[in-house]
Amino acid sequence: MDYYSNFQKVIDYIEQNLTDEIDYKTLAQILGTNEQALQVIFTFITNTSLTDYIKKRRFSRAFEELRSTNIRVIDLAIKYHYSSETSFTRAFKGYFNMTPSECRNGNNEFTLFPIFVLPKNDKPEDYNFKIESVDGFNINAYRTKDAKTKEDFLFRIRELYQELKNEGLFNQIVKDGMYAVTYKNEKNEEIYWVGCKKELPLSEKIAIEKGRYLVFNCNGASQSDVVAVISNIWFHFIKSSNFKLDENYFFEKYEKNENCFLYMKIKD
């Protein structure tokens, strides 16, 4: 099955049905997976949750209609699946920082949320990895603030790193061997911890879990390097192998601040 082409079909289906109810089960069938995996894959590839992507594409369409037609706000609300004009106006203002009326009557600039376009991919990527057994150990770490969406989660990670740099802790963590852990809590929200084995002020002890891991070289240490590898693992590797990976937990091991190795835990 060509998962790359099928993901583009998911994007196309969303765009063609923005004014209709979009059934996640149908999207999962197009991609050839289940609904939970669909949402994980979609978030990692686009850096936006499926729900937020659909919402933002609908808002972008609504903005254009407000500026180019005489459609009533109540009709626009119904068209894009809001229960009332009030709820649509509140959500619209939250996204564009202006009401629908201000949008229609003003000359404000706005940022269009574009259709996601997959980069050109002429052939599958080869995956070099190793299997490594890890004895459990603790790190002393700091965590991100709560985030509701994937976009916000990635922002919170950048925010955490900046705070550590401002407090003079980042270089110390890198020097002593930096680790980062991502896991989902009981609310299915992603939490990110970063730290090292050495004691750190006001940090918390977080476990690196014992087990067998697939280890991937990210060939870089930036957030974009790590996210790209995670996306490719979900998009291609998992579909091409018989390994069962823990979808709710992985960790990163850094070589100074120059390279990162991604550890994906193998389910027992």
pLDDT tens digits, one per residue of 134-182: 999 999 999 998 877 766 787 788 889 999 999 999 999 999 999 999 9
The answer for residues whose C-beta is within 8 angstroms of residue 8's C-beta and 6 or more apart is 118
Amino acid at 175: K
**Residue-range definition of the domain harbouring residue 163:** 129-266
Q: Is residue 115 part of a domain?
A: no
User: What is the mean predicted confidence (pLDDT) over 193-203?
Assistant: 94
CA 50 to centroid of chain Cα atoms: 10
- Same domain? For 155 and 228 the reply is yes
Contact 129, 113 (CB under 8 A): no
What pLDDT does 188 receive?
A: 76
Contact 248, 12 (CB under 8 A): no
Domain count, the chain: 2
What pLDDT does 68 receive?
A: 74
Q: Is residue 34 part of a domain?
A: yes
Q: Is residue 48 part of a domain?
A: yes
The answer for residues whose C-beta is within 8 angstroms of residue 191's C-beta and 6 or more apart is 143, 144, 182, 183, 184, 185
In this predicted structure, which of 25-34, 36-45, 138-147 has the lowest mean pLDDT? 36-45
CA distance 26 to 108: 37
- Same domain? For 67 and 141 the reply is no
Two structure tokens written together for 143: 């965590």
What pLDDT does 112 receive?
A: 67
Contact 27, 14 (CB under 8 A): yes
What pLDDT does 123 receive?
A: 46
> Is 0.75 topped by the overall pTM?
no
CA 266 to centroid of chain Cα atoms: 21
Helices (H), 97-216: 100-105, 150-166, 170-175
What pLDDT does 18 receive?
A: 93
Q: The domain spanning residue 10 has which CATH number?
A: 1.10.10.60
CA 4 to centroid of chain Cα atoms: 18
Radius of gyration of the chain (CA): 21
Phi, psi torsion values for 254, nearest 5 degrees: -105, 140
Phi, psi torsion values for 212, nearest 5 degrees: -100, 140
SS3 214: strand
Q: Domain end: 57, 72, 105, which one?
A: 105
Q: The domain spanning residue 203 has which CATH number?
A: 3.20.80.10
- Same domain? For 148 and 252 the reply is yes
- Same domain? For 188 and 238 the reply is yes
State what percent of residues in the chain have pLDDT above 90: 43
User: What is the mean predicted confidence (pLDDT) over 12-36?
Assistant: 91
Q: What is the pLDDT of residues 115-131, one digit of tens each?
A: 776 665 544 455 678 88
- Same domain? For 28 and 85 the reply is yes
